[in-house]
Amino acid sequence: MLELRGKVAVITGGASGIGLGLARAFAGAGMRLVLADIEAAAAEKAAAGLRERGAEARAVRTDVTDPASVEALARGVFEREGAVALLCNNAGVCVEAPVAGGSDDDWNWLFAVNVHGARNVIRAFVPRLRAQGAPAHIVNTGSFNSLIPAGFLGIYTASKFALLGLSESLRQELAPDGIGVSTLLPLGVNTRLDESQRNRPAGQALNPQAMKSSESALRAGQDPSAVGEAVLRGVRENARFIFPDGSMVGVLRAQLGAILSAMESALKG
């Protein structure tokens, strides 16, 4: 079991939503927190709220789509803290855009944040995690859509399938180094994911659909703090997958059953 008390956790997208839920759970475990987020004011407000509750927390403005910004985050954290025990690749965005109907801007933005953003963080932090000589764990925030597609969220689904592949491969790569990797696979969570376009790069066309069909489901979703507690348990167990909500197990069983059935048909020739 990874010892967490007094150790450092770095959370991208840490200013709100699942990221803040993670921060609250980790603070309860006695960790010191670095909240990295593109929204500097929101990150500082979140860090201040955690400090009021007795946690040690600070905010660092970080754009995960910018390798230089991520490298500055990693360099600063290791210079100040010396080591990182827990790294959460949590920054993510979404719009309702199907595969065939999404714009180039939709494709580029969702993959820039959800996939390449995670890659940038991994590139900056993993060499340092390997060199620090202390145990560490990485959590990559996927989605139930990493496993089950949603047609009206086609591009988002594609990005989260890609992130699952990245995370699974990374777990194999880092196992010899004693660095654990988990993929977080939440269902609906009460976050501001439907307001992702507030951070869309200047010059990109806004998607008029935004998240019209998803807003009510998000508001009725799981509390981010419950997700944080599930992640805390998963990290301690070095869980390969972390499901905060098991209510859709039947849907997943049907998906996996269809895959196995197709393979069995291939065996029969």
Which CATH number fits the domain that encloses residue 119?
3.40.50.720
pLDDT attached to residue 216 = 64
For residue 252, tell me if it sits in a domain. Answer: yes
CB 137 within 8 A of CB 238: yes
pLDDT attached to residue 219 = 75
Tokens of 118: 């995670």
156 in active site: yes
Pairing relationship of beta strands 86-89 and 241-242 according to DSSP bridges: unpaired
Q: What is the pTM of this model?
A: 0.94
Instruction: Report the alpha-carbon distance of residue 233 to residue 213 in Å, rounded.
Output: 32
The boundaries of the domain holding residue 84 are 8-268
For residue 82, tell me if it sits in a domain. Answer: yes
Q: Which of 89, 163, 160, 168 is nearest to 125 (CA)?
A: 89
For residue 182, tell me if it sits in a domain. Answer: yes
For residue 251, tell me if it sits in a domain. Answer: yes
For residue 1, tell me if it sits in a domain. Answer: no
Q: In what order do the strands lie in the sheet with 179-184?
A: 56-61, 32-37, 8-12, 86-89, 136-141, 179-184, 241-242
- Considering the candidates 125, 144, 156, 161, report the single residue annotated as catalytic: 156
The total number of structural domains in the chain stands at 1
Alpha carbon of 136 to those of 14, 29, 148, 201, 237: distances in Å? 19, 15, 29, 33, 13
pLDDT attached to residue 17 = 96
For residue 21, tell me if it sits in a domain. Answer: yes
pLDDT attached to residue 221 = 83
Residues in the chain where the model's pLDDT stays below 50: none
For residue 3, tell me if it sits in a domain. Answer: no
